[in-house]
Amino acid sequence: MANAKKIALITGANKGLGFEMARQLGKQGVIVVLAARDRQKGEEAAAKLRDEGMDVHFLKLDVTDKNDRAAAAAFLEKQFGHLDILINNAGISAEPLGSGKPSTTTDETIHRTFETNFFAPVALTQALLPLLKKSDAGRIVNMSSILGSLTLHADPKSPIYDFKSLSYDASKAALNSFTIHLAHELKDTNIKVNSAHPGWVKTDMGTDAAPMEIPEGAKTGVQLALLTDDGPTGGYFHLGKTLPW
């Protein structure tokens, strides 16, 4: 299997960062399973990348749906027999970023955000771990955010100190904790687990006010997906630089 093409699954990949990571991995010869909730949009995205010469398969996957998660594992097992790269990219912000005060954030907002940003990637990773363990060099990339850094949120000198959204920030901090714990569990295996901060990117969530273009924002996730054997695990990175938890 060492000489075979790598297989990557990317969630929420019909647009934005997920789509661009699929493109960048596809250009490097990785077989990409492009996963998305919306079948039509996902099929169209996969077809676009195939037209660019890449080996891309579409998979209908709502990460919050346990049946979809089970179907994804079955599809990958039948189609490829293993999985090399899992990028947990699908995520939401249930309120405008920077607006979620602890005193007013609703239970519904917190639960909906955690369902997609934390509980779903944990459950999907657990479902796909047996396939990742069949890889010679499994890589799990959790697409986090600098807004998940407790250290920076607590520092009055930090650039994010006055930019807080309880539900989103807490969900990404929880995802970072999952990265640390899973990396520790898998430290004696060939699987590496890391969190990625893509940057403030011009996506639907980041808005046009963001300074980074999508191709630049996709680089961190792609770098972590293609780590060599001597690469890090259990870390939190942006463009090769370590971020504080």
The catalytic residues are 168, 172
User: d(Cα 30, Cα 215) in Å, to the nearest integer?
Assistant: 17
Identity of the amino acid at 38: D
- Which residue has tokens 């893509």? 198
Residue 2 CB neighbour total at 10 angstroms: 5
CA 241 to chain centre: 18
User: d(Cα 42, Cα 61) in Å, to the nearest integer?
Assistant: 10
Structure tokens at 87: 């990028």
Please work out, in degrees rounded to the nearest 5, the angle formed at the alpha carbon of residue 214 by the alpha carbons of 36 and 224: 75
Judged by phi (left if over 0) then psi (alpha if -120 to 50, else beta), residue 163 lies in: beta
117 secondary structure, DSSP code: I
